[in-house]
């Protein structure tokens, strides 16, 4: 049988390799770590989460929740492993990052049809290939991809939030609670008075950042904007963003603090917590100085500081088909963040479709274009039909689905209707193409 080559064992590549192999087609999966490192990954595990440990919303009134449910119904290794290694996070699906990646690594390595090779790929191979090397694609391959696509890569920045050791948090000053008491109490909340907030704000906007390389344009994702950049937009901005106090009344006083910084559980043992929304580009010494002003964190030990990296994606509207195939070479697929889908789940979702279609090509079957009514199809449609000149990576959202034929005023009801239609459409797709669970 024809086999498939997958390059990169991240969120997209792991899912793609799994899908190909589960279709009965042999796969060779190349991953350069640990032989060659990226600036963000810390382990040699597959599908390592480089920043937050949250895969975001998990219910069907949330577009990324719909996307997850579709993936669950298509035998996704990323979602089933996340379900297995989940940690408490209110309405979100957050995982213990180590067991999550270990689970995926071992299931892939033990699959009889998958061969893993720890090598850096520097040229686009022949045959059926899925490139899933992510936003931190190694230099040599990035050059090859640029040359093949014949268009300029874009540059922007991504940032990761710091993580603290729970045993060094002053538990008398913080309290456990989820916003509006939704789900079980999952976050540690650090309340601030107005004076504390003002002092913190002043320190934050004056703190020293790591200088950016001048040849790279400063372009941030709204979803992963460094906290100091957000702060510089105005003294109130953070109060409407990550420091929003609504629904977080202090149980001790019953009062709403002026501002609240939330810490999210980062591992199953609940020994590590990350600062929600605190992606940052401050120098490490500055992070310690400024973040220790947060009530409860005066003596906190930072086990990982926030970091920022260059990130790249291609101009997919002019280069890809909604099957994730290159327009120029039908046996070449791209998947993951580099295609302009944004986020862990979205990256894995694109890997799922690329893997499924690469396997179909190997078996001389027609690739499937998922209907836009499904979350999977809505993402594929977006990245291939957005306006090329201003193409920006995108998270799953209800705005990407076609409107419902009837007008539904209530937002929650509308989202539920779109979600139901998505799952019904998926069931039809599965039947039409004889896809199994
Ligand atoms: P990756 O998961 O990065 O996988 C790519 C793999 O390819 C890596 O394992 C890499 O080692 C390997 N590789 C690279 N080049 C080669 C080569 N030449 N040969 C062989 N192997 C190679 N998304 C979120 O949802 N939440 C977040 O909090 C978040 N934070 C982020 C923080 C940072 C610093 C970055 C860079 C991105 C972040 N993202 C986040 C965005 C995105 O969801 C992740 O980057 C996600 O990991 C993308 O999945 P991927 O499969 O495309 O790439």
Residue range 113-156, pLDDT digits in tens? 999 999 999 999 999 999 999 988 998 998 889 889 886 555 55
Q: Which atom of ligand 1 is nearest to the CA of 142?
A: 18
Nearest CA residue ID for atom 41, ligand 1: 343
Q: Of the candidates 23, 18, 14, 11, which has an alpha carbon nearest to the alpha carbon of residue 359?
A: 23
Q: Is 16 in the pocket of ligand 1 (CB under 6 A)?
A: no
Compute the distance from residue 294 Cα to the ligand 1 centre, in Å: 30
Q: Provide ipTM, 2 decimals.
A: 0.98
Q: Is 343 in the pocket of ligand 1 (CB under 6 A)?
A: yes
**pLDDT recorded at residue 223:** 58
Q: Is 40 in the pocket of ligand 1 (CB under 6 A)?
A: yes
**pLDDT recorded at residue 52:** 87
Q: Which atom of ligand 1 is nearest to the CA of 348?
A: 51
Q: Is 32 in the pocket of ligand 1 (CB under 6 A)?
A: yes
Compute the distance from residue 245 Cα to the ligand 1 centre, in Å: 32
**pLDDT recorded at residue 210:** 82
Using pLDDT thresholds of 50, 70 and 90, give the confidence band for residue 411: confident
Q: Of the candidates 72, 22, 103, which has an alpha carbon nearest to the alpha carbon of residue 362?
A: 22
Beta partners for residue 50, in sequence order: none
Residue 326 DSSP one-character state: B
Q: Is 156 in the pocket of ligand 1 (CB under 6 A)?
A: no
Which residues are CB-contacts of 115 (< 8 A; sequence separation ≥ 6)? 26, 27, 28, 29
Q: Is 30 in the pocket of ligand 1 (CB under 6 A)?
A: yes
The rounded distance, in Å, linking the Cα atoms of 126 and 321 is 19
**pLDDT recorded at residue 214:** 41
Nearest CA residue ID for atom 4, ligand 1: 10
Q: Of the candidates 185, 128, 154, which has an alpha carbon nearest to the alpha carbon of residue 330?
A: 128
pTM over 0.90: no
Beta partners for residue 259, in sequence order: 192
Residue 236 has pLDDT above 80, yes or no: yes
Q: Is 69 in the pocket of ligand 1 (CB under 6 A)?
A: no
Residues 270-297 as b/e (b if ≥16 CB within 10 A, e otherwise) read eebbbbbbbbbbbeeebbbebbebbbbb
Compute the distance from residue 256 Cα to the ligand 1 centre, in Å: 38
Compute the distance from residue 142 Cα to the ligand 1 centre, in Å: 14
Mean per-residue pLDDT over the chain, rounded: 91
Nearest CA residue ID for atom 28, ligand 1: 52
């Amino acid at each position: 049988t024809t086999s498939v080559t997958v390059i990169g064992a991240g969120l997209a590549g792991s899912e793609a390799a799994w899908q190909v192999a589960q279709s009965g087609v042999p796969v060779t999966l190349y991953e350069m770590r640990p032989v060659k490192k990226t600036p963000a990954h810390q382990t040699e595990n597959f599908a390592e989460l480089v920043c937050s440990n949250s895969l975001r919303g998990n219910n069907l009134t949330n577009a990324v929740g719909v996307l997850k449910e579709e993936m669950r119904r298509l035998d996704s290794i990323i979602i089933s492993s996340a379900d297995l290694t989940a940690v408490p996070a209110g309405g979100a699906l957050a995982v213990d990052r180590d067991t999550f990646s270990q689970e995926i690594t071992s299931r892939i390595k033990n699959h009889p049809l998958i061969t893993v090779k720890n090598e850096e790929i520097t040229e686009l191979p022949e045959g059926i290939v899925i490139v899933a090397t992510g936003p931190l694609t190694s230099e040599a391959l990035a050059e090859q991809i640029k040359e093949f696509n014949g268009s300029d890569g874009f540059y922007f920045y991504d940032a990761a939030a710091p993580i603290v050791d729970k045993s060094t948090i002053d538990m008398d000053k913080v309290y456990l609670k989820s916003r509006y008491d939704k789900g079980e109490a999952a976050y540690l909340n650090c309340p601030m008075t107005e004076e504390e907030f003002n002092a913190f704000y002043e320190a934050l906007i004056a703190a020293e950042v790591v200088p950016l390389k001048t040849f790279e344009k400063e372009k941030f994702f709204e979803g992963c904007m460094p906290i100091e950049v957000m702060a510089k937009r105005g003294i109130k901005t953070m109060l409407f963003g990550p420091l929003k106090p609504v629904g977080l009344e202090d149980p001790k006083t019953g009062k709403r603090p002026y501002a609240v910084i939330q810490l999210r559980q980062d591992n199953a043992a609940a020994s590590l917590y990350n600062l929600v929304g605190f992606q940052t580009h401050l120098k490490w010494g500055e992070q310690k100085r400024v973040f220790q002003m947060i009530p409860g964190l005066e003596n906190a030990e930072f086990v990982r500081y926030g970091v920022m990296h260059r990130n790249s994606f291609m101009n997919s509207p002019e280069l890809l088909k909604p099957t994730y195939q290159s327009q120029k070479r039908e046996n070449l697929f791209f998947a993951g963040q580099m295609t302009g889908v944004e986020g862990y789940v979205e990256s894995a979702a694109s890997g799922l479709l690329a893997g499924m279609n690469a396997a179909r090509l190997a078996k001389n079957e027609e690739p499937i274009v998922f209907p836009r009514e499904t979350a999977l199809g809505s993402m594929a449609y977006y990245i291939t039909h957005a306006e090329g000149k201003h193409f920006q990576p995108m998270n799953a959202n209800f705005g990407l689905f076609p409107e419902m034929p009837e007008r539904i005023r209530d937002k929650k009801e509308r989202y539920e209707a779109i979600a139901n239609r998505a799952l019904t459409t998926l069931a039809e797709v599965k039947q039409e193409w004889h896809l199994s669970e």
